[in-house]
C-alpha cells in the first residue's frame, strides 16, 4: 500500500492560555467516504448484492449505537474502539471538583493499523488550489480556531484531551 499523503494548511488560531492570535496546522482531508461509498467498496470481489451488504452494515451500526447508548466500550476490530469518557479541569484538592465540572464525552482510539498509517503519513504544505478544490467538493473549511486544543484539530487519538486534567484513557485496558 502506498504511503498516505496529508496536505496541511496554516490556520489562524487563538492560544488557549495567552489568548494571543497566531497560527496552527490543520489537515485538508482527502474527501469524505459516505455510507454508499463504504458499501460499494466493501462489496467488491464478493457475491453479496449491495442491498444485502447495506442492510447488514446498517444492522451492525444500529447495534453499535445501542451499545454506546448503554455506556459500553465498542471494539470495532481493526478500526479501533469507541468508548464513553469524561473531561474536567485539574483541581489541587479533591473537594474542589464538583460533578457539574465533569462533562461526558465520546472518545475514539484508533486500531494499530489505522493509527500507524496516520502516524506514518507524509505531510506536505497545501497550496491555495488545494484549499479551493476542497471547498468546491463540499469539504469542511474550518474557521480560525479558538478552541482549547490550540487549533490542533479534533481529538481522536484516544489519549489526550484539550482540558487540564483528563487523559482520555478511561476504557480500562492496555490498548
Give the start-to-end residue ranges of the domains of the chain: 5-136
pLDDT > 70 fraction of the chain, expressed in percent and rounded: 74
Residue 139: pLDDT band (50, 70, 90) is low
pLDDT > 90 fraction of the chain, expressed in percent and rounded: 66
User: Tell me, what's the pLDDT at 129?
Assistant: 81
Q: Does the predicted TM-score (pTM) go above 0.85?
A: no
Q: Which CATH class is domain 5-136?
A: few secondary structures
Q: Do 73 and 171 form a contact (C-beta atoms < 8 A)?
A: yes
Residue at grid coordinates 447495506: 54
Q: Do 16 and 126 form a contact (C-beta atoms < 8 A)?
A: no
User: Tell me, what's the pLDDT at 155?
Assistant: 37
Amino acid at each position: 500500500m502506498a504511503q498516505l499523503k496529508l496536505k496541511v494548511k496554516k490556520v489562524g488560531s487563538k492560544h488557549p492560555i495567552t489568548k494571543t492570535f497566531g497560527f496552527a496546522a490543520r489537515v485538508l482531508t482527502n474527501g469524505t467516504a459516505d455510507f454508499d461509498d463504504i458499501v460499494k467498496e466493501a462489496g467488491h470481489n464478493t457475491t453479496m448484492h449491495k442491498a444485502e451488504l447495506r442492510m447488514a452494515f446498517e444492522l451492525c451500526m444500529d447495534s453499535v449505537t445501542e451499545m454506546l447508548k448503554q455506556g459500553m466500550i465498542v471494539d470495532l476490530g481493526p478500526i479501533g474502539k469507541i468508548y464513553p469518557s469524561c473531561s474536567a479541569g485539574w483541581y489541587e484538592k479533591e473537594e474542589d471538583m464538583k460533578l457539574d465540572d465533569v462533562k461526558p464525552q465520546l472518545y475514539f482510539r484508533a486500531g494499530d493499523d489505522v493509527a500507524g498509517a496516520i502516524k506514518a503519513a507524509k505531510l506536505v504544505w497545501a497550496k491555495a488550489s488545494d484549499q479551493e478544490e476542497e471547498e468546491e467538493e463540499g469539504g469542511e473549511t474550518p474557521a480560525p480556531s479558538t478552541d482549547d486544543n490550540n487549533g490542533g484539530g479534533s481529538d481522536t487519538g484516544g489519549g489526550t484531551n484539550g482540558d487540564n486534567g483528563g487523559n482520555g484513557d478511561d476504557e480500562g485496558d492496555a490498548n
